[in-house]
Amino acid sequence: MTLKFFFTYKTNVKERWKNKELLNVLVYEFRNRDEAYFRDAIDKGVIKVNGEIVKPTKKLKLTDYLEHTVHMHEPIPPKIDVIAKEDDYVVVNKPAGVPCHPTGGYLFYSVTKSLFGDKKVACVNRLDMPVSGVMIITFNNLSQCMEKIKDAKKFYIAKVKGIFPNHIEVNKKIVCKEGRKRYVSEEGKECLTIFDLISHNESYSLVKCQPITGRTHQIRIHLQSIGFPIVNDLIYGDEEPEEIETKEVTCDANYEEFDDQEMYKCVVKHCKGENNRSFNFKKYFICLHAWKYFYDSKEYEAPLPEWCRL
């Protein structure tokens, strides 16, 4: 099953776009589309400035805002298992392959949208999209919940290649130097993770991971840094990603119901169908699971996934 809908993104002009031409900004900032698309979209009013059709050479002001209408296809959000319900928050078992909350590429296919719809909520702890396990969502007293998470004791389970040592503590600083990818570097922030071997066979080990600090990707980076990358980790591991199969685009959205048929016809023409992140990565997981959280004087545990069986 697939959700199909029209949606208009709106964004204010950023400081770095000031006095630059609209087309140049779009081509440089949004590289998932080519220049030919942006020219067509501007011409047909699919992309507007302040609600009006403009020329590609329009110079942007800080007081301007952009609108971009698209047609989207997303998977039906999966069922999310609730571990516990408390007065100010709920604890769920996040599936791998599902983002925590809506982002630019995901409007409905997310944990928070699936559980709460349009209700205003916030993720107390965020898990990377390919990671599963304990996730805490608050609908009240966000600042108080965020303070408590600093003192929470967390345990993850990771599956790595090779036979892991019985116990090791990794105290290596982490820095972000290139996009979203992070590295071990003396220029970074303090970062400590404690690892303990749970079990192993001739090829793989299950490892209990306790992050003492809360740096982004720290478990993944620390395991990579000592020669035990997480199985199936395409960013920090040594595995090559599988080639993504491009599906035939079939979009039967009805644009004739709109007053501006020319604009919506252009939107449908450029619809990517199911060739997007939500479909491409919904089955993607890494062998890292948020297993137990000791939070707010309570213990929460997410059942172990199938890959934990050695």
> Dihedrals φ, ψ of 234, to 5°?
-80, -15
Residue 47 DSSP SS3: strand
Q: What is the DSSP string of 189-226?
A: B--EEEEEEEEE-SSEEEEEEEESS--TTHHHHHHHHT
Cα 135 from Cα 153, distance rounded (Å): 13
Q: What is the DSSP string of 173-186?
A: -EEEEETTEEEE-T
CB 46 within 8 A of CB 68: yes
Q: Which residues participate in catalysis according to the annotation?
A: 128
Q: Which residues pair with 186 in a beta bridge?
A: none
| CA dihedral of residues 243, 247, 248, 251 (deg, nearest 10) | -140
Cα 160 from Cα 205, distance rounded (Å): 5
Cα 292 from Cα 198, distance rounded (Å): 15
